[in-house]
Amino acid sequence: MANSMVKECLRNFVKEARELYMNEGVPYLEHPIRPLDFYREWISPNKPCIIRNAFNHWPALQKWGFSYLREVVGSKEISVAVTPNGYADAVHGDRFVMPEERRMRLSAVLDLMEEKPRGSGVFYVQKQCSNLTEELPELTGDLEPHIPWMSEALGKRPDAVNFWLGEAEAITSMHKDHYENLYCVISGEKQFILLPPSDRPFIPYELYQPAKYHQKEDGSFEVLDVTDADKVPWIPLDPLNPDLGRFPEYRFAQPLHCTVKAGEMLYLPSLWFHHVQQSHGCIAVNFWYDMEFDIKYNYFQLLEALSQATRPL
């Protein structure tokens, strides 16, 4: 009885959250607004938006094609995630499987993007430790080191600036981050599925043995367990094809879908769940600003604990 009462309270909580502050879609801003206004209208209420004309002045928008990248940084070695199916950091069977991390010249990655041999795996430049500044500093002059109006709104600089380049088959599984995220698409487009933190009661989490893909000499992949590592909590549900028989609560979720095109910037608020697809060869840069671990974070932790407590055994 107590469990069913908590579930009912959680559903009412989500319903009220949608009525009070959620938009039915992801709104567009035609240009950046004043830092204080952006904080009041988007950061504080934890609402996403797509901003146009936010980085038209970056040379990267005109320069960053494959030929330019070959010329400027083609000889640089970078970290590349390699998987058999395009899913890096995702649930596969009863394992949470991470990609094989491979050091490659960027020119070799571009070769694969243009003339990929069949059965060679899926490649994604996705290392998220400020790989733009750490691995490709030659490109930093083509954009800003931070987003000035966002830095002023938050009173700090970004923790990381990440460079993304991948195949259409490379998909980011549903997850959340503890960052205020500004995601800038330079070429191609990204398709996002978004769910607010308030939908946490409908999103399943399970614990998984961590493992990694490894490509063998014959080109096939094997899954190798990461020994002496704690189990990883991750979302087993695929929002592209949700198994409502296994995860019936997800039918109450109301995901938002949006496409971020070249020259557009997505503000993805902290703790929002997101799943990402992309066009082939899409190039993007994102800025991660650490979130404030304030009372809103405490509320989310309580919501997460109640959601876990009411999940079926």
Distance from C-alpha of 267 to C-alpha of 26, rounded to nearest angstrom: 10
- Cα–Cα distance, 20 to 124 (Å, whole number): 39
Helical (H) or strand (E) element with 78: strand 77-83
**Model's pTM, two decimal places?**
0.95
Q: Which amino acid is at 87?
A: Y
By 3-state DSSP, what share of the chain in percent is helix, strand and coil, each rounded to 5? Answer: 30, 35, 35
Closest to 167 in 3D by CA, of 68, 279, 85, 284: 279
pLDDT, residue 244, reads 96
- The pLDDT assigned to 180 comes to 98
Given a cut of 80, is residue 12 above it in pLDDT? yes
Long-range contact list for 134-142, CB < 8 A, 24+ apart?
A: 135/76, 135/77, 135/78, 135/79, 135/163, 136/73, 136/76, 136/78, 136/106, 136/163, 138/72, 138/73, 138/76, 139/60, 139/64, 139/72, 139/73, 139/163, 141/59, 142/58, 142/59, 142/60, 142/63, 142/64
Give residue-wise pLDDT tens across range 285-311: 999 999 999 999 999 999 999 998 887
For residue 202, what are the domain limits? 1-310
Q: Which residues pair with 182 in a beta bridge?
A: 267, 287
pLDDT at 309: 86
pLDDT in tens, 181-234: 999 999 999 999 999 999 999 999 999 999 999 999 998 999 999 998 999 999
For the chain, the average pLDDT equals 95
Residue 312 has pLDDT above 90, yes or no: no
pLDDT digits (tens, 9 = 90+) for 128-178: 889 999 999 999 999 999 999 999 999 999 999 999 999 999 999 999 999
CATH number of 133's domain: 2.60.120.10
What's the CA gap between 203 and 209, in Å, rounded?
20
The predicted structure's pLDDT at residue 213: 98
Sheet (strand 87-88) strand order: 87-88, 171-175, 273-278, 189-195, 256-261
Count structural domains, the chain.
1
- Reply yes or no on whether the pLDDT at 28 is more than 90: yes
- Give me the amino acid identity at 197: P
For residue 313, what pLDDT is reported? 46
User: What contacts 198, CB < 8 A, 6 or more positions away?
Assistant: 13, 14, 17, 18, 22, 303
Mean pLDDT in residue range 265-287: 98
Tell me how far apart the alpha carbons of residues 152 and 141 are, in angstroms, rounded to a whole number. 21
pLDDT, tens only, 69-128: 999 999 999 999 999 999 999 999 999 999 999 999 999 999 999 986 666 899 999 988
The 10s digit of each residue's pLDDT in 43-70 is: 999 999 999 999 999 999 999 999 999 9
* H helical segments located in the chain: 2-21, 35-38, 60-63, 66-73, 106-114, 131-135, 148-154, 295-309
Question: 3: left (phi > 0), else alpha (psi -120 to 50), else beta?
Answer: alpha
